[in-house]
Amino acid sequence: MSDSPGKVYLVPTPIGNLADITQRAIETLAGVDILACEDTRVSGRLLKKLELRKKLISYHNFNETARASQLADEVRKGKSIAIITDAGSPGISDPAYRIVRAALDNGLAVEALPGPTALIPALTASGLPTDRFFFEGFLPNKATARQKRLAQIKAFTHTLIFYESPHRVHKTLADMQAVLGDREACLAREISKKFETYLRGSISGIIAEIEGRTIKGEIVLVVAGYPSSKKKKREADHAE
């Protein structure tokens, strides 16, 4: 056993284009003892492309509490661990934060590498205000709960950012139009991948554009915030 504890590294992985991985990320993955990942099959393919062989341990929503304790024990013994998600930065809409919390509660070192996450390029390319934004992540699966949550954030003046699955995006956009109103929005799909697509316009316009189509891939929805009182006054003055 090592006399000194190891370290937990949060290592972002590409959200699509493998060229987006940094040299520092590759060097960190190469140097750690254990790699904790969401899906060993997905991470295994990435390691194969990088020509790296590592011990893989899976963590997910059903085992994260037990895994967090187990990995903290390994770090206390002097092992270094890299946490990766299937794509993007660990801890964003995945249970990696529990491992981080367990490490910090045990006085262990945590180092986060900067890297890709889908919400930022979706926001910056949307054409909507970027100075203040609110990241909601995934809305509830059930329509009633989804509509209730949208009603709770309806008055937020920040630009709103959501992750959504392709099989539910039509229903979510319909709920957004009904609850939030027909705001300006952007649907970003497959960011950094071959079929990267941005649909910009009103929510109703985006709904019309994808009507009858099967949408595939990872989706980010960016929606304009509730107009501030100053903005509404400017719009009213302009209308006059």
pLDDT in tens, the chain (240 residues): 455 689 999 999 999 888 899 999 999 999 999 999 988 898 999 999 999 998 899 887 667 778 888 888 899 999 999 999 999 999 898 888 888 888 999 999 999 999 889 999 999 999 999 999 999 999 999 999 999 999 999 999 999 999 999 999 999 999 999 999 999 999 999 999 999 999 999 999 999 999 989 899 999 999 999 997 555 545 544 555
DSSP 18: G
> pLDDT value at position 183?
98
Separation between Cα atoms, residue 221 and residue 161, nearest integer Å:
6
Q: What gap in Å lies between CA 123 and CA 196, rounded to an integer?
A: 14
Alpha helices in 127-201 (DSSP H): 143-152, 169-180
Sole residue written with tokens 């981080």 = 100
Enter the tokens of residue 89. 């930065």
Q: Which spans in 94-168 are helix H? A: 96-105, 119-126, 143-152
158, 232 Cβ separation under 8 angstroms:
no
Residue whose pair of structure tokens reads 């497959």 in the numeric block: 190
Report which residue type is found at 106. N
**Residues making up the chain, counted from first to last:** 240
Domain limits, CATH 3.30.950.10, in the chain: 119-230
Q: Given the structure tokens 């952007």, which residue do they identify? A: 186
CATH 3.40.1010.10 positions along the chain are 7-112
Name, in order, each residue with C-beta under 8 angstroms of 210's C-beta and a sequence gap of 6 or more.
169, 170, 173, 187, 199
- Separation CA 151–CA 155 (nearest Å): 8
Full-model pTM: 0.86
Query: Nearest Cα to 81, choosing from 15, 28, 22?
Result: 28
Compute the distance between CA of residue 21 and CA of residue 196 in angstroms, rounded to an integer.
Answer: 18
Q: Tell me the fold of 7-112.
A: Cobalt-precorrin-4 Transmethylase; domain 1 (3.40.1010)
Q: Does the domain formed by 119-230 have CATH 3.30.950.10?
A: yes
Say how many C-beta atoms besides its own lie within 10 A of residue 236's C-beta: 9
Nearest to 49 by CA among 85, 9, 18: 18
